[in-house]
Amino acid sequence: MQLKKIKIGNLETPNNVFLAPLAGYTNAVFRSMCYGLGAGLTVTEMVSAKGLCYANEKTEDLLYVPADYGGIKACQLFGSDPQIMRRAAESCAVAPFDIVDINMGCPMPKIYNNGEGSALMNNLPLAEKIISSVKKSGKTVSVKFRIGLDAQHINVCEFARMCEGAGADMITVHGRTRDKIYAGEVDFDAVARAKNSVVIPVIANGGVFSKADAENLIEKTGADGVAVARGAMYSPWLFAEITGGEVPDKKGLILKQLEDTLALYGERFACVFMRKMIAFYLKGTKNSSCVRVKLFQAATTQEVKDILNSLDL
């Protein structure tokens, strides 16, 4: 695919291959690792605007950014109250971030049934108020959404034009309907129609697990860039492969992730999180099922490290 810089408001990314927000995964260490591997933009996992406004400590922890992070800083907020969303965007916790990405695509019932995430695709007037309110915070604003709620309610073009009119500087379109969650084929044509409906940058999301997938997504949608989600969970070095960078020693990369996660989040979190991540990284490798059993029996990060060191990656 053709690599290019993306202008988002007054900001400019080094390339057009982004790390999408992933709830439970895109913590500070993972974002820094993906940025180092070539991601042009990384976004925090989604953060509750209400949680920020009511100073929820766990919510604020999601927004930690390492002092040496060199890229554009972007956080994702979700909520359905325009004023709460603006207050969150203006909060001290969000102050270090250059971009506020508004989640209007999460399909999970807990979010959807609360009128947040993809539920907002069924309420354009409210979605418009949220975007314009967050824009008043002075932040550069992007919006991530889906092509519609289901096959009978695809409104991606109308929604894209609404986002642009409300002041969004960029949109990211996940090429599936809400009812598909993360399954099924990406609707390239729907994303292409959204791209042709607006002037602001359009990033395509969905189904990128290889360089060929990224190239195919760009070719068939005409989007300005791609956002890699679950593909990054399985192969964070995918960013290097797509951007033409050097793919590092994978074992060394994962060991560093473990050490950095331990240093920042502590033993318990690092052990549980890295067991999960290494299981993802092992998908498709020889004897991966047996190794996963050992991994999930590991009670300490040292045990996790010992298992990792025994592998031929």
**All residues at 6 or more sequence positions from 133 whose CB lies less than 8 Å from its CB, including other chains:** 82, 83, 85, 86
106 is catalytic: yes
- The catalytically annotated residue of 34, 53, 75, 106 is 106
Q: Which residues are annotated as catalytic?
A: 106
